[in-house]
Chains A and B, each alone.
Chain A
Amino acid sequence: MQQPEALTRGRQREGSPWTGLWAVVAKEMADYLTSVRMLILEALIVLTAAGTIYAASQSLRDGFGGDTFLFLKLFTTAREPLPAFVGFLGLLVPLLGIALAFDSVNGEFNQRTISKVLAQPIYRDALLFGKFLAALGALALTLTSIWLLIVGMGLLRLGVPPTGEEVVRSLWFLLVTIFYGGVWMALAMLFSIVFRQPATAALASLAVWLFFTAFWGIIASLLAQLLRPVPPGDPLALIDQVQLELALARISPNTLFTEVALATLNPTVRSLGLVLPIQLHNAVLGTPLPATQSMLLTWPHATGLIAATIVLFALGYVLFQRQEIRA
């Protein structure tokens, strides 16, 4: 079998593994910025953002939702028949992540450019990491411009600037959203290494996404019931079961993202998951948390998403190093 390039050569390899990295990043970025596929998705997201934010600001102007944290409520306020913008983000961001990467490696094979590129004085590391960075950059760029668009619309429609607190919260939310997309992007990139056909890679990524979106919640609850059965009249066992279900549900990036959205955009959320009355004893219900506290609350979620992105990338990296280049 093919020996992994990096592993057998270990540290004896000459030069930096990142030689040529920025050439790859620049080229891939340019590709993204001019590609029709990205243009369509970005247009879709912008339209969604404009539509939902407009509707939300209409509701807020009509006086629903009180008078605090108006800016954050732009993200979360739904007005029939449209869901709130965060709801859309939960769907569109994975789509964007997958669209960025499902053909990134197999595309090079299919265009027969891979052996030529790797015959240049660069390592495979630089090619793969360059593609990853460019995709992450494109994702960050798109989401940041949407964020700016929303800030602008908020200023125009609500007539009040966001408070510092709100800016911090929404920036944190932006960062988490980028890595939520990053997970799906890294997954699609992994599949683009495993599958030779881009269509297969795209379908496989969508299948995983669908699995987590539609089925994981049910499976988590079934598993919890199976693993921690609750004997009648045992409240402690019930707590146990619910906690297991929650832990299982948090394997899904969608759950993590939804919880972060909830806690970050809604300052009155003081805790995620199960809250026992005794824990609420000292807390005044309805009092908003300071931004830093909310960030602390969602810290594990953010690191979870970042770690998942890195693990998926590392997996793809190992597979790519082992791949036979002959096309």
Chain B
Amino acid sequence: MEEPVVECRNLTKQYGSLVAVDHLNLTVRKGEIFGLLGPNGAGKTTTILMLLGLTEPTSGSVRVLGLDPARQPLSVKSRVGYLPDQVGFYDGLTARENLSYIAKLNGIRGKEMQDRIRAALDQVGLSDVADRPVRTFSRGMRQRLGVAEVLIKRPQLIIMDEPTLALDPEAVREFLDLIRRLKADGITIMLSSHLLHQVQAVCDRVGLFHKGRMVLEGTVSDLAQRVLGGAYRIHVEADGGTALDEALRRLPDVVQVTRDGAQTYHIEARSDLRADVARAIVEAGGRLLALSSDVPRLDEVYTRYFQKEATYAAA
């Protein structure tokens, strides 16, 4: 099997008595988009800093692209692009000058540098304002310039801390497109975000952080399976009285049926039961008016997880 791009084993970071990251095990494979989720203070940024060697772990091990960020920080940092949350720029310099400083720090110079700057500006759509001082940029433009700075070094892994925070909906859509394009180029991406539907839209897998631990990890439907019990939700509009209730509940893999008004049913199931639901309604003598299913939403997983967590904590 191919070596994982990121591998943490029992990674721990303590600030005095506070454990910011607690025996974290995390594996990210090549070409994946991995989402880091979790409430404020869960330890996402701390984990990212340790991956880059910007903070030393208290214990445990980290490998990034097969390298140890504490021992080989230069090799790691020349292969990994990092976009910090609320990234800043030298405001008096133009976008191009900011980029060329970053390029030079990476040892990229001359014509190669000019080419890469042009390509990066193109990719994020800032070519027209390349020679304006960054002071005049809107937050969305700054965010895109941050991405351009990451692209300059042609990284194999990109780590972004809350990259969509300042973006308007259209910009978010463009940003997600850009992420998908980067993935298509074979770049592995880790991003942390609080905007769950965006995470769901691009991430192959997500990890849910809570108090320094990764409490859940997997694809969104994995998580839904575990947290919500049923991963599939089917909505039915049918005419047929209480007999339908019974018929639906009897179906295998159904977790829960709730009725909403006289004709609307919400079914939670462990597998895709749409066909079975339709048949059951017809067999029970009902009239099927509408049937739809929705993919489990990450928001729901998240909310439900922390509700459960709160009830345990209270108990």
Same complex for A and B? Answer yes
Interface residues of A (CB under 8 A from B): 1-3, 5, 8-9, 12-15, 19-20, 23-24, 26-27, 31, 34, 111-113, 115-123, 324-326
B77 within 8 A of A: yes
B94 within 8 A of A: no
Partner of B49, one of A116, A122, A326: A326
Please name 21 pairs of A and B residues whose Cβ atoms are closer than 8 Å in the assembled complex, sorted by A: A5-B56, A14-B73, A14-B74, A24-B105, A31-B90, A111-B89, A113-B88, A116-B82, A116-B83, A116-B84, A116-B87, A116-B146, A117-B105, A119-B77, A120-B106, A120-B153, A121-B74, A121-B75, A121-B105, A122-B74, A326-B55
Interface residues of B (CB under 8 A from A): 16, 45, 49, 52, 54-56, 70-75, 77-78, 80-84, 86-92, 101-102, 104-107, 146, 149, 153
Check A119 against B54 for contact (C-beta < 8 Å): yes
Complex alpha-carbon distance, A115 and B85, angstroms: 10
Q: Closest CB of chain A to B56's CB: distance in Å?
A: 5
Beyond A12-B71, A112-B84, A112-B88, whether A3 also contacts B56 by CB under 8 A is: yes
Beyond A5-B56, A113-B90, whether A15 also contacts B74 by CB under 8 A is: yes
Check A14 against B71 for contact (C-beta < 8 Å): yes
Complex alpha-carbon distance, A233 and B82, angstroms: 75
Check B104 against A326 for contact (C-beta < 8 Å): no
Check B55 against A116 for contact (C-beta < 8 Å): no
Main secondary structure of the interface of A (DSSP, over half): loop
Interface centre among A26, A116, A122 (most CB of B within 10 A): A116
Q: How many CB-defined contacts (below 8 Å) exist between A and B?
A: 91
Check A121 against B78 for contact (C-beta < 8 Å): yes
Beyond A2-B56, A115-B54, whether A14 also contacts B105 by CB under 8 A is: no
Complex alpha-carbon distance, A112 and B161, angstroms: 14
Check A20 against B107 for contact (C-beta < 8 Å): yes
Complex alpha-carbon distance, A92 and B89, angstroms: 31
Check B74 against A119 for contact (C-beta < 8 Å): no
Which residues from B are CB-within-8-Å of A1? 16
Complex alpha-carbon distance, A178 and B149, angstroms: 37
Beyond A1-B16, A113-B88, A324-B55, 10 extra complex contacts between A and B, CB < 8 Å: A2-B55, A12-B71, A20-B104, A23-B104, A27-B104, A31-B92, A112-B87, A120-B102, A122-B77, A325-B49
Complex alpha-carbon distance, A26 and B106, angstroms: 14
Which residues from A are CB-within-8-Å of B77? 119-122
Q: Closest CB of chain B to A138's CB: distance in Å?
A: 16
Which residues from A are CB-within-8-Å of B149? 116
Which residues from B are CB-within-8-Å of A117? 105
Complex alpha-carbon distance, A324 and B45, angstroms: 13
Which residues from A are CB-within-8-Å of B91? 111
Check B71 against A119 for contact (C-beta < 8 Å): no
Which residues from A are CB-within-8-Å of B55? 2, 324-326
Q: Closest CB of chain B to A104's CB: distance in Å?
A: 13
Q: Closest CB of chain A to B110's CB: distance in Å?
A: 13
Q: Closest CB of chain A to B124's CB: distance in Å?
A: 16
Check A119 against B52 for contact (C-beta < 8 Å): yes
Which residues from B are CB-within-8-Å of A14? 71-75
Which residues from A are CB-within-8-Å of B45? 326
Closest to B109 in A: A23
Closest 7 CB pairs of A and B: A112-B88, A23-B104, A121-B78, A119-B82, A120-B105, A111-B88, A121-B77
Closest to B70 in A: A9
Closest to A107 in B: B90
Check B82 against A111 for contact (C-beta < 8 Å): no
Check B88 against A20 for contact (C-beta < 8 Å): no
Beyond A23-B104, A324-B55, A326-B45, whether A119 also contacts B70 by CB under 8 A is: no
Which residues from B are CB-within-8-Å of A324? 55
Complex alpha-carbon distance, A14 and B71, angstroms: 7
Complex alpha-carbon distance, A20 and B82, angstroms: 18
Closest to A126 in B: B105
Closest to A1 in B: B16
Which residues from A are CB-within-8-Å of B81? 119
Which residues from A are CB-within-8-Å of B153? 120
Complex alpha-carbon distance, A111 and B87, angstroms: 8
Closest to B149 in A: A116
